[in-house]
Amino acid sequence: MTLRTIDSLGALQGKRVIVRFDLNVPLKDAQITDDGRVRASLPTLTALLAQGARVVIISHLGRPDGAFDAKYSLAPVAARLSELVGRPVAFAADTVGSAAADAVSRLADGDIVVLENLRFNPGETSKVDSEREAFAAQLAAFGDAFVSDGFGVVHRKQASVYDLAAILPSAAGLLIAAELDVLDRLTEKPEAPYTVVLGGSKVSDKLGVIGHLLPRVDSLLIGGGMLFTFLAAQGHSVGASLLETDQLDTVRGYLAEADRLGVKIVLPTDVVVASKFGADAEHVITAADAIEHTPFGAAGLGLDIGPDTAAAFAEIIRTSKTVFWNGPMGVFEIPAFAEGTRTIAAALTEVSGLSVVGGGDSAAAVRILGYTDDQFGHISTGGGASLEFLEGKRLPGLEVLGW
């Protein structure tokens, strides 16, 4: 089947188009600290406005557990959207109540309204089909057509992602189309050499990706908290570092499978070990197989890859034609443990082929470290969705759009 695009909806002049974006941005004191997901919505929004649509924007933000919580309001997002599109953006203080109904009724051609956080309504994330469908029906009353463009949520069977698309004439937005094009290039005949860089805290979060991509890649570079489970699987002591003992046998299996396939799983040769978790922690650089031989002994905590490892990883990345990176190499929020992540980000900007930053913490890291989106081939807006796609899973929010 073929993914339905906006063109399939026909002329949109004067029509109310509900658009599901992923505007789940980080906030501090009601201020957006990273507007990457807001900016990622602009191509689809601009295309709809150019056709004279009356745009009703819906999204979630955070996890408010089905009830109003002011700290998760989308009001700051509406204000930022107004700045970016250079026109007023109305904001409705509820999702399917009187404020939303009134705001939608006032829309003229080319107008925009943002409805309040979908997750203030328990029907959005309900596991009960009838509850989700009822909420979706309330939302559908505000629209003549539906465009799904929140790639970060397409792996969720939620009211605004799945059920709403089944009620109204529906199509995928430009962001989803772009994300799928990139992910298809990562899974179907990627240009070699193909390198995947995996970090983050838990190896269990990446097992499906490792299993699905091993037959496709040339090199798999392992950093972040998950590296210590790999080191332990090889028989090394890792002190107080993050360790998933229940995954040791699985990791050993992947190491053996990589050897059989001729794939290089590259593990750190040195790490940054700290006395504790914190910005004021004492820390040293040590060999990856000597973590407990630091002054901190068995209490030593690995919080970043070391400089030798970072340099070796960077060289492999720079000489690759396809690179996918998901998960920071260390605790990048603390300057002392950010260098590994910084080095990887810098190397990705030098890839002559396709470089993809796989959303979530990785996308946040590159921006915090001072890089801009256009320095990379693609920055995904959907960490979890990207990973599930790369695991080979079917995603309900895409299937309902014909994919």
In whole angstroms, give the CA distance from residue 296 to residue 285: 12
Q: Could you tell me the two tokens for 171?
A: 């199509």
Catalytic one of 199, 360, 382, 383: 360
Active site residue 54: no
Residue 152 marked as a ligand binder:
no
Active site residue 360: yes
Q: Smallest Cα–Cα separation from 268: which of 330, 356, 218, 355?
A: 330
Catalytic one of 202, 264, 318, 321: 202
Residue 60 marked as a ligand binder:
yes
Residue 330 marked as a ligand binder:
no
User: CA separation (Å) from 316 to 49, 176, 209, 224, 351?
Assistant: 44, 30, 20, 17, 10
Q: Rounded to 5, what percent of the chain is helix, strand, coil?
A: 40, 15, 40
Residue 252 marked as a ligand binder:
no
Residue 276 marked as a ligand binder:
no
Residue 255 marked as a ligand binder:
no
Residue 303 marked as a ligand binder:
no
In whole angstroms, give the CA distance from residue 96 to residue 93: 10
Q: Could you tell me the two tokens for 351?
A: 């890839």
Residue 61 marked as a ligand binder:
yes
Give residue 165's identity as a one-letter amino acid code.
A
Residue 360 marked as a ligand binder:
yes
Q: Could you tell me the two tokens for 79?
A: 């204000």
Residue 302 marked as a ligand binder:
yes
The upper half-sphere exposure of residue 342, i.e. CA atoms within 13 Å in the direction of its Cβ, equals 13
Residue 22 marked as a ligand binder:
yes
Active site residue 321: no
Catalytic one of 16, 20, 37, 157: 37
User: CA separation (Å) from 265 to 200, 223, 269, 271, 285?
Assistant: 16, 11, 12, 17, 22
Q: Buried (b) or exposed (e) across 337-350, using 16+ Cβ within 10 A?
A: bbbbbbbbbbbbbe
Residue 63 marked as a ligand binder:
yes
**Strands 194-198 and 219-222: what pairing?**
parallel
Residue 119 marked as a ligand binder:
yes
Active site residue 384: yes
Sign of CA dihedral 70, 74, 75, 76: positive
Q: Are 340 and 310 in contact (CB under 8 A)?
A: yes
**Where does residue 315 rank: exposed (0-12), middle (13-18), buried (19+ CB within 10 A)?**
exposed
SS (H, E, C) 239-304: CCCCCCHHHHHHHHHHHHHHHHHCCEEECCCEEEEECCCCCCCCEEEEECCCHHHCCCHHHCEEEE
Binding residues for ATP: 206, 302, 333, 359-362
Binding residues for substrate: 22-24, 37, 60-63, 119, 156
Binding residues for (2R)-3-phosphoglycerate: 37, 119, 156
Which residues are known to be catalytic?
37, 202, 360, 384
Binding residues: 22-24, 37, 60-63, 119, 156, 206, 302, 333, 359-362
